Amino acid sequence: MAAFTQRLNELGWIEGRSVVIQYRWAEGRKSRYDEIAHELVRLKADVIVTHGTPPTEAAKQATAIIPIVFAAAADPVGSGLVASLARPGGNITGLSLQQSDIVGKKLELLREVVTGLRRLAVLGNLGNPATLLEIAEVGQAAGRLGLEIVPLEMRRAEDIAPAIAGCTGKAEALYVATDPLILTNIGRINALAMTARMPTIYNGKEYLASGGLLSYGPNYSDLFRRSAEFVDKILRGAKPGEVPVEQPVKFDLVINLTSAKALNLIVPPTLLARADEVIE
């Protein structure tokens, strides 16, 4: 949000003076997405900014008139949020994570640290259509690399602990799919994975602060900064359906050496040299 508001300021929109921002947090709960979306419609917002596929879907269901800008959505075309990247159509546009496109790269990075990796557990919110697309791509990429997938069932926060406990000894690493519910519970996921001695890989450094091992994906601060430019265009008269969805231009590889040491893993110097950030 700091990157978002800073860019708005640079574009002439000063919070509290020329623009009022209403902040709402759903904490990964689907029922809250719907409540918040309808609340913002009742408030007659000029633009609704979202993060993630489920809240964007909720906003889209709540209004076909108020412009919606998603600061980050895993696969907006595949999940049906927009008709195409070039011409999204309707009242919605934003920035795509292109999450499915980088799955293979993430698995290759994980194998550089977890040598001899054969069985990979996959955790994701199965109630998120974008997660289903990502998990399907994980399965295809794993097949190409000769990895066996151990799928974990999760639709709510209460499913996390039994899912991870159930794969202890059955997998050598854990791939965690992108989702607001995952981010809300990231501390618990990392603690459980560490107890189970399973290295984890995510799509952003925000997931590593509480103990994740690796992340590779778009820079979220950059995405939110660029989403402010979408808001600026719309407030100045652009139609969201005619503003092309943009893709990430900045990807970060982040390695948590503290977690690597706790798991008795040796990170190759060649991988450390390629990292954009190393947490020690």
pLDDT at 179 over 90: no
pLDDT confidence tier of residue 28, bands split at 50, 70 and 90? confident
What domains, with CATH codes, occur in the chain?
2-98+219-251 (3.40.50.2300), 100-217+252-279 (3.40.50.2300)
Compute the average pLDDT of residues 125-141.
92
Q: What is the pLDDT of residue 99?
A: 72
pLDDT at 178: 86
Question: Residue 239: what residue type?
Answer: K
Predicted pLDDT of residue 130: 86
Write down the pLDDT at residue 29: 84
* Cα gap 140→56, rounded to integer Å: 27
Q: Where are the beta strands (DSSP E) in the chain?
A: 48-50, 68-73, 92-96, 119-123, 148-152, 173-176, 200-202, 214-218, 251-256, 277-279
The arithmetic mean of pLDDT across residues 43-60, rounded, is 95
Under the banding of pLDDT at 50, 70 and 90, the label for residue 51 is very high
Show the tokens assigned to 254. Answer: 């982040």
Buried b (16+ CB within 10 A) or exposed e, 154-168: beebebbeebbeebe
pLDDT interval class at 202 (50, 70, 90): very high
Asked whether the predicted pLDDT for residue 258 surpasses 80, the reply is yes
Q: What is the mean pLDDT of the chain?
A: 95
What is the average per-residue pLDDT within 92-114? 92
Q: CA triplet 70, 23, 63: central angle to 5 degrees? A: 50
Q: Supply the pTM of this predicted model.
A: 0.86
